Amino acid sequence: MSGTHRARSARKKSPGKALPGVIAAAVAVVAVGVVVFLVRSGGETADPASGNVPAAASTPRTGTQLGFTSTEDFSYSLGAIKAGLDSGRRAYIEYLVANTSGRTAPFEAPGQLFLPKEESGNEACVDQEGTEVGLCSPPTESEIVGFVGDARPSPDGVDQYMPAGASFIVRVTTEDPVTESADAANLRLYVWDVRFVRNRIAQGLPLP
């Protein structure tokens, strides 16, 4: 998962600590009649047929937000919104990504879901320095599920960009169902990619 986090017209499922440069097929997905941006766990996205992802009425409540600066010197603020299990028993966390650079910046989504290893049901679940003891990160995929205000991603070739001050709501979801014993209260969100955390010691984003 240490590969690029810049938004591109491709889909990637995060395999936990994946090697850089893993590329998945480009895809546009329509779910329940609503087009969403499928993104890499690091921010890569498939081009949608339209931009009708629902906008949030106002900035959602988050836990304590943390600021991160990429190696390209773009700044972002991230805050966890909520955690849960979907109807297919896949675990997810939604979080806010805000462009605080004061200028147009590449869309990034570096948040990664962690949960107790015994609840993951996945042998590929890997741990990371800085997280709570016993937690690991299974393979995940991410998507933009909402916008705050009118700002939308703007394409530039294969990249997607965020206008200055834009805020997007991202959901990171496990690829596979978690165990029957899994509890949404045990889900955690961390950022550890070297492009944002130089020492790779995971930084936690608490839920509200």
Higher-pLDDT residue of 105 and 38 is: 105
pLDDT of amino acid 117: 96
Least confident of 13-17, 52-56, 75-79: 13-17
Query: E strands within 163-208?
Result: 167-174, 188-191, 203-205
For residues 63-89, average pLDDT:
98
- In angstroms, the first-to-last Cα distance of the chain is 26
Q: Is 23 within a domain?
A: no
At 60 the pLDDT is: 94
Helices (H), 38-194: 117-120
pTM for the full model?
0.78
Mean pLDDT of 5-26: 42
**Structure confidence at residue 44 (pLDDT):** 40
Q: For 159-186, how does the pLDDT look when each residue is reduced to its tens digit (9 = 90+)? A: 889 999 999 999 999 999 999 999 999 9
Residue 7 has pLDDT above 50, yes or no: no
**182 is a domain residue:** yes
20-29, 37-46, 120-129: which has the minimum mean pLDDT?
A: 20-29
Nearest residue to 177 (alpha-carbon basis) of 109, 115, 111: 115
Asked if residue 17 is part of any domain, the answer here is no
Q: Which residues contact 90 (CB under 8 A, 6 or more apart)?
A: 173, 174, 175, 176, 177, 178
The Cβ of residue 1 has, within 10 Å, a number of other Cβ atoms equal to 25
pLDDT of residue 40: 40
Containing structural domain, residue 161? 29-205
Sign of CA dihedral 79, 152, 48, 43: negative
Q: Is residue 95 part of a domain?
A: yes
Instruction: Tell me the pLDDT of the chain averaged across its residues.
Output: 81
Q: pLDDT, tens digit, for every residue of 150-159? A: 889 988 777 8
**Is 181 inside a domain boundary?**
yes
Residue 15 lies in a domain: no
Per-residue pLDDT at 156: 76
**Token representation of residue 107:** 């869309």
Query: Is residue 112 scored above 70 in pLDDT?
Result: yes
pLDDT, position 126: 95
What's the number of domains the chain is made of? 1
